[in-house]
């Protein structure tokens, strides 16, 4: 009986822990929605990949490149992006961009993140051109 009670309490605590987590303070969007967002000239399009990744190619209209893995990412971004700007950002696959999106949203920026990253963008472009 004690074991059942302990297991039940553990399950409840786990459920409460997951349900009380903060939701992301940014939006993750599809390739199509990202394309619509970055069509707005007022939106800062930020590539958060490494320098090598950026040099290999980037999304047309990218206005800024800051590697999220650099220790000074936050300070560079705040210094480079006008306060109150909307930032649409991406990485290679959508993992690092979520980290960057969270960091910038905490700094007060409105942030939109490409869920599938640059790879998803390239795949969508490739699929569109094959049709």
SS3 per residue for the chain: CHHHHHHHHHHHHHHHHHHCCCCCCCEEECHHHHHHHHCCCCCEEEECCCHHHHHHCCCCCCCEECCCCCCCHHHHHHHHCCCCCEEEEECCCCCHHHHHHHHHHHCCCEEEEECCHHHHHHHHHHHHHHC
pLDDT band at 16 (very low <50, low <70, confident <90, very high): very low
What is the pLDDT at residue 126? 86
Per-residue pLDDT reduced to its tens digit, 44-85:
999 999 999 999 999 999 999 999 999 999 999 999 999 999
pLDDT of residue 3: 55
Residue 102 has pLDDT above 80, yes or no: yes
What pTM did the predictor assign?
A: 0.80
């Amino acid at each position: 009986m004690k074991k059942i009670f302990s297991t039940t309490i553990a399950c409840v605590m786990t459920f409460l822990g997951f349900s009380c987590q903060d939701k992301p303070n940014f939006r993750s969007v599809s390739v199509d929605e990202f394309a619509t967002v970055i069509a707005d000239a007022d939106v800062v399009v930020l590539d958060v990949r490494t320098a090598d990744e950026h040099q290999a190619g980037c999304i047309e209209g990218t206005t800024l490149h800051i590697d999220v893995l650099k220790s000074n990412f936050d300070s560079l971004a705040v210094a480079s992006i006008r306060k109150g700007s909307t930032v649409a950002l991406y990485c290679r696959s959508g993992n690092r961009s979520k980290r960057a999106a969270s960091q910038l949203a905490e700094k007060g920026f409105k942030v939109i993140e490409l869920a599938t990253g640059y790879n998803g963008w390239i795949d969508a472009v490739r699929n569109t051109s094959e049709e």
